Amino acid sequence: MSVVVGMPYLFFACRWVGRKAGTRAVAMCFCVWFILFIIDVLLLLLGGGTAYIWAMMAISHVTKLLAAYFGGKSALKDVQRIRRLHV
């Protein structure tokens, strides 16, 4: 479920956060992903996940990393477009 639902959720969340970050949109989106990744790893370490759960988490976070990148790039385009209009 997280693989499918997590991608669009993180894309739009990163796009929203990235617009607030301005020209550092992509870097901010990678930070958002990294915080989520650290939280998931810590929870799995505390809960003692199986190999299947670790594999699903890896797949989920690869797709979320891509979503964060593309959300940041989309936000950066919006920021650049808005700045061009105001100059």
Structural domain containing residue 12: 2-86
Can you give the pTM of this predicted structure? 0.84
What is the rounded distance in angstroms from the CA atom of residue 37 to the CA atom of residue 45? 12
Long-range Cβ contact pairs of 37-43 (< 8 A, separation 24 or more): 37/61, 37/64
For residue 87, the model assigns a pLDDT of: 66
Look up residue 80 and give its two tokens.
């650049």
pLDDT tens column, 30-86: 999 999 999 989 998 998 878 898 898 899 999 999 999 999 999 988 888 887 887
Number of domains in the chain: 1
What is the rounded distance in angstroms from the CA atom of residue 11 to the CA atom of residue 48? 29
